[in-house]
Amino acid sequence: MCGRFTIIATYDLIVYRFNIKKSSLQFEYHQSFNVAPGQQILTVINDGKENRAGFLKWGLIPSWAKDPKIGYRMINARAESVATKPSFRTAFKKHRCLIVADSFYEWTHDNLKNKRPFRFKLKNDDLFAMAGLWESWKSPEGQIIHSCTIITTEANEIMIPVHNRMPVILRREDEQKWINPGSASSEQLSLLKPYDSNEMEAYEVSKDVNLPKNNDPHLIQKI
């Protein structure tokens, strides 16, 4: 699964890297060393003409949901069922997005009393995009919540010692294919695979990352 990640790049770098139309969002963007479910996270969509950045609540709320609290159980979607599961299939067809990150955390599950957090990133420290889906939900009172989920797949070799799942990290050349609007196809499904472990590295970090309120540079330091 994917339950925490970091985004510490500057907004200008993000705009350049993902070819985003620059907007006033730069004044809303803040670095985070500990992005957690329920927070507003930076995402990229394509409106048919250009790439646009926006903030979506992490935890997808399907348009048909009666209670927005369902989003807390929808922070991840499995690649194997994303095209068929009722909670995600509409978003897969119409609302695909990129979730911008520069690393993510995962915890060992070998000892539930002493779970150890690890940071996973690209060896070259580049930004990357996780494959995501988004939806808009409207309450009976008219409140609108825009939300998203991160798609996960089976673990690659570097992940296996820690966890059996990982977020789908898209290859740079596949990012635009993922967010191009229109009907989803087998081409999009083929992108949902483990990232090359030879291009990644991992190391153990402080257990302070366990608490979302902790959010400063020491969280990404190797211990």
Catalytically active residues, by annotation? 2, 106
Count of CB atoms within 10 A of residue 117's CB? 19
Alpha-carbon span 108 to 197, nearest angstrom: 18
Alpha-carbon span 43 to 99, nearest angstrom: 5
Alpha-carbon span 167 to 186, nearest angstrom: 19
Alpha-carbon span 219 to 30, nearest angstrom: 16
**94 three-class SS:** helix
- The conformation of residue 28, written as its DSSP 8-state character, comes to T
Dihedral angle sign, alpha carbons of residues 176, 193, 84, 66 = negative
Alpha-carbon span 178 to 192, nearest angstrom: 10
Tokens of 35: 């992005």
Alpha-carbon span 145 to 139, nearest angstrom: 8
Count of CB atoms within 10 A of residue 26's CB? 13
